[in-house]
Amino acid sequence: METETDQIYHLDVGNLLGFNPNHRFPSAPSSREELVKECLEESRKLVQAIANALFNFTSTETNDGPIVQLPPPTTKLPREKHVPRPKPPTKWEEFALKKGIQKRKKDKVVWDEQTDQFKRRHGYDRVNDDNDVPIIEAKATDEPGEDPFAKRLDEKKKRVGKQQKNRLQNLKAAEKAGALPSHVQLAATSLPISGTKSQPKKIGKDELGDVAGLAATSTASGGKFDKKLPGEKAPKKQGKHHKYLPVVAGRGAVNPEKEQTNNVLSKIFSKHSHEILNVGKAINMYNVKKEKKKSGRSDKSGRSDKSGRSDKLKPKKDITKKPANKAK
Amino acid sequence: MMEIRTPKTGKAKRVLEKRAPKLVETGKKTLILHGTKTSATVSSVLMELYRLKKGGAIKYSRRNENIRPFESGGETSLEFFSQKTDCSLFVYGSHTKKRPDNLVLGRMYDHQVYDLIEVGIENFKSLLSFSYDKKFAPHEGTKPFICFTGEGFENVPELKHLKEVLTDLFRGEVVDNLNLTGLDRAYVCSAISPTKVFLTHCALKLKRSGTIVPRMELVEVGPSMDLVIRRNRLPNESLMKEAMRTSKDKPKKKEKNVDQDAVRGKIGKIYMPDQKLDEMHLHDKSKGLKRERKESKLLNEETDSKKKKKSSE
């Protein structure tokens, strides 16, 4: 229903918007409050006009209140994102269009001849499963050494790989047209260095930190005063890690420094104790000497080689010990 | 070498689908942030705007030094944030000596800056300084009325632009059905001079009148301020054409299981679930509803009424 007011006001009921282009505000406002009052009064009229239109629509009653169907908004506002672009047909779709192949709806459950029952088409315990074949009859063209089951697996892998490649090509074409499906992202993985077939290892956060630290040490002040990027952590302490023990022992505690030196000494002794005295060897030598003395007394012939032999039995010089004065 | 990456969880997939471009668009989200320096007025304006737009706004609290909307290189951060938060409207507040209490309202198209308008804030009155009967306080997320008054909005191009931006900002979600009990707020914008706009937020009082249409009354509730137009940047022609392109109406959803025929008329299909004959309830075998009981009850009532009649006689 168009009343006089509608012709003066521009109403957009879909947006609950009202515009009064004819009101002229006084260029010299009387006072702030007067101005505010005037604005509110004019707007009240606009709101009343919109409400008149709204409440005259047919409303359906619900639990929350009367619900009214809003007309579509008339003010043109720019879109937020582009209109979704149509997806280019995939290679199969093009082929199907050319050949006139219609899509047929397939049932989830199919009759299996071998076991007289309905089995699902895809998934666990499916109809005509490729892996379930117990016997494959040999054909005349088969070579004797070939494994037909392995061959089947290979073929399946090849088919799957081909399908993946085709899918990638279709998605690339869609991306070119700007119509990539919203949940798919195409990411370029890193290119391998020419010549190697393996992909370069991805560097982790810790490794990067180590490398950055290494690079920092090459500066004149050893990387201590380098400006840090936001998020970069301070370098880990490089060089020797000293732990100094307290000199004065606490109440009741063992003197830690004394303990430490004791430990060190005992370690040294235990390491080199065999140079100081190899008990087993000493016993052997003593026994042998005794026997020799006994035997030597019985037949004194003064063999020279005996002394030579006894040389072997004498404690050998320690080869690990270096001579005190080296030739400078 | 390319890799196809798809989301591994249903939730991630749904988030991505929500952000995808749609044929018919519903509400825009707003990003509220501020620059290197803000005055008390600007920070309270931003806070209150955020409160008014609670459902569809994201407020950043940190300073952003490298955002300069009107300079060519200063928009990259804004575009990045818009992409991250999926916001296509932004409100950027700052305060400098040259431009005190500055507010830049901007819109994005495909996460690229579409247009900008810069306003200065004067005579700001906060939400808290208004006293009113709390019964009429508007609820969060209700669809507001927007009123523009003044010939300036038609004659002055900057004001026209501001009108469009304010409509976009305050519009909220675009809905088909509206609940008439949920009308409780109105934004009032009046062009008091060719460069100034008085903006305020009011609650609605619906008073009983003789007709179906209630009498509307406005009560000033929320923040009120004067906006002084400073700079603006309109979108370039080609971008505007692309953004204003309206898609054809959404194809009507086919009504399922209904068939119209000239011969048979309108026919509907009903799908029945499997009937488990063993478990069907044929008659209620509870004691109280047995026929004998019912009959005996009726008989008793008759005898009672007869007795009463006799006694009365």
Q: What digits encode the pLDDT tens for the residues A179-230?
A: 888 899 888 876 655 665 566 677 788 888 888 888 888 888 877 788 877 7
Question: Helix, strand, coil proportions of chain A in percent (round to 5)?
Answer: 40, 10, 50
**Using the beta-carbon criterion (under 8 Å), do A64 and B181 form an inter-chain contact?**
yes
Encode pLDDT of B45-89 as tens digits: 999 999 999 888 999 999 998 899 988 888 899 999 999 999 999
User: Which pLDDT does position A193 carry in this prediction?
Assistant: 59
**Using the beta-carbon criterion (under 8 Å), do A84 and B21 form an inter-chain contact?**
yes
From chain B, the residues in CB contact with A56 under 8 A are: 212-213
Query: Are A278 and A293 a contacting pair, CB within 8 Å?
Result: no
**Cα A132 from Cα B254, distance rounded (Å):** 44
Encode pLDDT of B283-309 as tens digits: 777 887 788 877 888 888 877 777 777
Q: Quick one: average pLDDT of B229-237?
A: 91
From chain A, the residues in CB contact with B154 under 8 A are: 21
Measured between CA atoms, how close is A16 to chain B, in angstroms? 5
The crossing angle, in degrees rounded to 10, of helices A148-176 and A91-99 is: 90
Give, rounded to a whole angstrom, the gap between the first and last alpha carbons of chain A: 119
Measured between CA atoms, how close is B114 to chain A, in angstroms? 9
**Using the beta-carbon criterion (under 8 Å), do A78 and B148 form an inter-chain contact?**
no
* Mean of all residue pLDDT scores within chain A: 81
Neighbours of A176 (CB within 10 A): 10
**Using the beta-carbon criterion (under 8 Å), do A68 and B180 form an inter-chain contact?**
yes
Proportion of chain B above pLDDT 90, given as a percent = 46
User: Which pLDDT does position A323 carry in this prediction?
Assistant: 60
Which candidate from B2, B146, B191 shows the least CB-CB separation from A16?
B146
**Cα A43 from Cα A37, distance rounded (Å):** 10
- The size of chain B, in residues, is 313
Please report the residues numbered 175 through 234 in chain A whose beta carbons come closer than 8 angstroms to any beta carbon of chain B: 182-191
Cα–Cα nearest to B31, from B84, B90, B76: B90
Residues 6+ apart with CB under 8 A from A296: A306
Cα–Cα nearest to B106, from B53, B168, B58: B168
Q: Quick one: average pLDDT of A30-58?
A: 88
User: Which pLDDT does position B113 carry in this prediction?
Assistant: 92
**Using the beta-carbon criterion (under 8 Å), do A40 and B188 form an inter-chain contact?**
yes
Burial (CB count <10 Å: 0-12, 13-18, 19+), residue A296? middle
Q: In this structure, what is the dihedral angle of CA atoms B160, B164, B166, B169, given to the nearest 10 degrees?
A: -170
Measured between CA atoms, how close is A150 to chain B, in angstroms? 28
Cα–Cα nearest to A69, from B176, B148, B46, B106: B176
Which candidate from A19, A25, A52 shows the least CB-CB separation from B192?
A25
Q: Quick one: average pLDDT of A231-237?
A: 73
Pairing of strands B89-94, B57-63: unpaired
Query: Are B119 and B228 a contacting pair, CB within 8 Å?
Result: yes
Decide if the complex's ipTM is over 0.90.
no
Please report the DSSP string for A228-241 in residue order.
PPTTPPPPPPPS--
Query: Are B74 and B132 a contacting pair, CB within 8 Å?
Result: no
Instruction: List beta partners, residue A12.
Output: A17
Say whether residue A17 is in contact with chain B using an 8 A CB cutoff: yes
Q: Quick one: average pLDDT of B128-152?
A: 88
Which candidate from A15, A79, A191 shows the least CB-CB separation from B146?
A15
Cα–Cα nearest to A208, from A229, A184, A190: A229
Question: Helix, strand, coil proportions of chain B in percent (round to 5)?
Answer: 30, 30, 35
**Using the beta-carbon criterion (under 8 Å), do A80 and B240 form an inter-chain contact?**
no
Instruction: List beta partners, residue B112.
Output: B109
**Using the beta-carbon criterion (under 8 Å), do B4 and A184 form an inter-chain contact?**
yes
**Cα B229 from Cα B119, distance rounded (Å):** 5
Burial (CB count <10 Å: 0-12, 13-18, 19+), residue B273? exposed
**Cα B305 from Cα B296, distance rounded (Å):** 14
Measured between CA atoms, how close is A70 to chain B, in angstroms? 5
What residue in A sits closest to B113 (Cα-Cα)? A80
From chain A, the residues in CB contact with B21 under 8 A are: 81-84
From chain A, the residues in CB contact with B107 under 8 A are: 78
What residue in A sits closest to B242 (Cα-Cα)? A82
**Using the beta-carbon criterion (under 8 Å), do B13 and A183 form an inter-chain contact?**
yes
Q: Tell me the count of A-B CB pairs closer than 8 A.
A: 210
Residues 6+ apart with CB under 8 A from B41: B101, B121, B124
Query: Are B28 and B168 a contacting pair, CB within 8 Å?
Result: yes
Please report the residues numbered 56 through 85 in chain A whose beta carbons come closer than 8 angstroms to any beta carbon of chain B: 56, 59, 62, 64-70, 73, 75-84
DSSP letter for A11, please.
E
From chain A, the residues in CB contact with B146 under 8 A are: 15-18
**Cα B42 from Cα B63, distance rounded (Å):** 13
Q: What are phi and psi of B178, to 5 degrees?
A: -125, 135
**Using the beta-carbon criterion (under 8 Å), do A78 and B244 form an inter-chain contact?**
yes
> Can you give the pTM of this predicted structure?
0.66
Measured over the CA atoms of residue A296, residue A301, residue A307 and residue A308, the dihedral's sign is negative
Encode pLDDT of B243-280 as tens digits: 888 766 556 677 888 888 888 889 999 998 888 888 77
